[in-house]
Amino acid sequence: MHKNTKEMTELILKAKEKAIKETSHEPEPEFTKPISWPITCTVGPGLEGAIACETKIGYVNGAKGWLIYRGYNIFDLCAYSTFEEVAFLLLHGELPTLSQLNVFKKKLVQYGHIPLTKRRLMSFPVERMNAMAALRLGTTFMRQEFTDVESQEYINDTVKIISADEDSIPMETKPMGEKHAIYEFDEKKLLEMKIRDNLQHATGIESCHHLVAGVSSLVAAIARIKVGRLPIEPHPDLSFASNFIYMMTGKVPSPIEERIMDISLILHADHGMNASTFASMVVASTLSDIYLSVGAGIAALQGPLHGGANEAVIAMLKEIGSVENTKTWFEKACAKKQKIMGFGHRVYKAYDPRARVLAPLAKYMSRKNDEGKKLFKIAEQLEKEVLRTLGKEKKIFPNVDFYSGIVYTCLGIDSEFFTPIFAASRVSGWTARVQEYLLNNRIFRPRAMYLGQFDKGYISVKNR
């Protein structure tokens, strides 16, 4: 299945072996039994320990450092699977058969064509927008395509034709080696594929597929617009990971580059009731649609305490500047009670299995990349400092965001796109969990303890 990437698979299997040796993966009984509502649980600030729902999608064993998607451990999925398989697994509950996989892959390429969305996006100053804000806007436009379809049912054919013409977007069809960009209008292709006919409801499984494909197209389009280039359409012969890099950079990646992106996408696809997943679910629980739910997920993911940490890690490593300066920098940071980016986790009180995979792969990727190598060496030193101190005292270990940025740096991707890449993968987890929750939906509606005053008399504005 994977070409010329045996060494990478071996590194993953070695990480798995180490994890088995250092931990065990027995499930925690308190987080793996059916719920009979109402339940009693001890809740800390930030809803720590609160149980919000039942799920069959994924399990994080924080005490031992294990991550499971639908029964499969993350090491095996990284070693043997692909992102397409994993997204299908999360959304449909089982790994696909060969024919299901082929249909799904084809669909992801088809749904990666979002010309109207891209055209709308390009009418905004995307080059000056935060990439995650642009991405969120883009998913709203993807929803808007529905609104158009829905409203077009009520208008006459002439208007439809005009509207269809608007759906075209100039595409740079041959981005490599051409002196001048070559454009094509893509509406014909889109009509041939009858994509619109499938997307009838903005909540159904087809919308989930549309989003899984569309978010990566959007991320890539934003990356290109930001460097003054036109978006590229997905190529039908490329895998999801390969297409993602191709649409971002205009170059078909090498098997190693494709494989590392694939592994990274697998690692980020789902992770329990994290803040962005919960945000998506809260929005969906109001019976809002899945596009707006994903928009909420993107918004929550952006923060540096969550997905934004991967970008912050690279800024931190650059600030440290050298292996020699690492200890002094770390001691100063601790003295200021500064959080070390890419470390710590609400659930993991053991080594994050995703970091176990990414650390050796970051080393592997950085061996031929000067910038990556420098960052990796500083990261390695910082990890030693943190484990020696915070690791022992507070069970703080590297998380998924600590090494991912080094991997992306080695792929030549700008740090502004690290969190959007995270989103391109996590959209599979968001949509899977939203779909599952909606089967037994109840609107999320916790309460707050009121500590304000009572019985204040109203004073008119002129007397205040």
- Minimum Å gap between C-beta 184 and ligand CMC is 38
305 counts as binding ligand CMC under rule CB under 6 A: yes
- Minimum Å gap between C-beta 304 and ligand CMC is 6
Taking CB under 6 A as the binding criterion, the range among 139-147, 334-342, 371-379, 427-435 that sits at the site for ligand CMC is: 334-342
Active site residue 401: yes
Strand 170-172, strand 58-61: pairing: unpaired
Taking CB under 6 A as the binding criterion, the range among 93-101, 103-111, 181-189, 300-308 that sits at the site for ligand CMC is: 300-308
Taking CB under 6 A as the binding criterion, the range among 16-24, 182-190, 229-237, 305-313 that sits at the site for ligand CMC is: 305-313
388 counts as binding ligand CMC under rule CB under 6 A: no
Q: DSSP readout, 30-80? A: GGSS---SS-----BGGGBT------SSEEEETTTTEEEETTEEHHHHHHH
- Minimum Å gap between C-beta 270 and ligand CMC is 12
Catalytic-role residue among 148, 401, 414, 455: 401
How much of the chain is in helix, strand and coil states, percent to nearest 5?
Answer: 60, 5, 35
CA angle 232, 236, 240 (to 5 degrees): 80
Catalytic-role residue among 209, 268, 271, 345: 345
399 counts as binding ligand CMC under rule CB under 6 A: yes
Taking CB under 6 A as the binding criterion, the range among 51-59, 118-126, 282-290, 299-307 that sits at the site for ligand CMC is: 299-307
Kind and range of the H or E run holding 225: helix 205-226
Kind and range of the H or E run holding 185: strand 183-185
Angstrom distance (rounded) from CA 394 to CA 346: 12
φ, ψ of residue 334 in degrees (nearest 5): -65, -40
Active site residue 306: yes
Are 427 and 270 a contacting pair, CB within 8 Å?
no
Site for ligand CMC in 309-328 (CB under 6 A): 309
Q: Which is nearer to ligand CMC, 112 or 307 (CB)?
A: 307
- Minimum Å gap between C-beta 124 and ligand CMC is 27
Angstrom distance (rounded) from CA 212 to CA 207: 9
Angstrom distance (rounded) from CA 113 to CA 213: 8
User: Number of C-alpha atoms within 13 angstroms, CB side, residue 373?
Assistant: 4
Neighbouring residues of 129: CB distance < 8 A, sequence distance ≥ 6: 137
93 counts as binding ligand CMC under rule CB under 6 A: no
Among 137, 218, 220, 341, binds ligand CMC (CB under 6 A): 341
Q: Which is nearer to ligand CMC, 322 or 338 (CB)?
A: 338
433 counts as binding ligand CMC under rule CB under 6 A: no
Active site residue 113: no
Catalytic-role residue among 306, 352, 370, 455: 306
307 counts as binding ligand CMC under rule CB under 6 A: yes
Residue with tokens 């299997």: 13
Taking CB under 6 A as the binding criterion, the range among 155-163, 377-385, 399-407, 410-418 that sits at the site for ligand CMC is: 399-407
Structure tokens belonging to residue 292: 């707006």
343 counts as binding ligand CMC under rule CB under 6 A: yes
Task: Give the per-residue contact string, 42-81, with ligand CMC (x = CB under 6 A; - = no).
Answer: ----x-----------------------------------
420 counts as binding ligand CMC under rule CB under 6 A: no
φ, ψ of residue 183 in degrees (nearest 5): -110, 150
306 counts as binding ligand CMC under rule CB under 6 A: yes
123: burial class by Cβ within 10 Å (0-12, 13-18, 19+)?
exposed
Nearest residue to 251 via CA among 215, 223, 273 = 223
Structure tokens belonging to residue 241: 């990971």
Strand 183-185, strand 58-61: pairing: unpaired
396 counts as binding ligand CMC under rule CB under 6 A: yes
Taking CB under 6 A as the binding criterion, the range among 10-18, 75-83, 189-197, 340-348 that sits at the site for ligand CMC is: 340-348
Are 369 and 409 a contacting pair, CB within 8 Å?
yes
Q: Which is nearer to ligand CMC, 387 or 438 (CB)?
A: 387
Are 201 and 100 a contacting pair, CB within 8 Å?
no
Residue nearest to ligand CMC (CB): 344
Residues marked active site are found at 306, 345, 401
What does the binding site for ligand CMC look like in residue numbers (CB under 6 A)?
A: 46, 274, 305-307, 309, 339-346, 390, 394, 396, 399-401
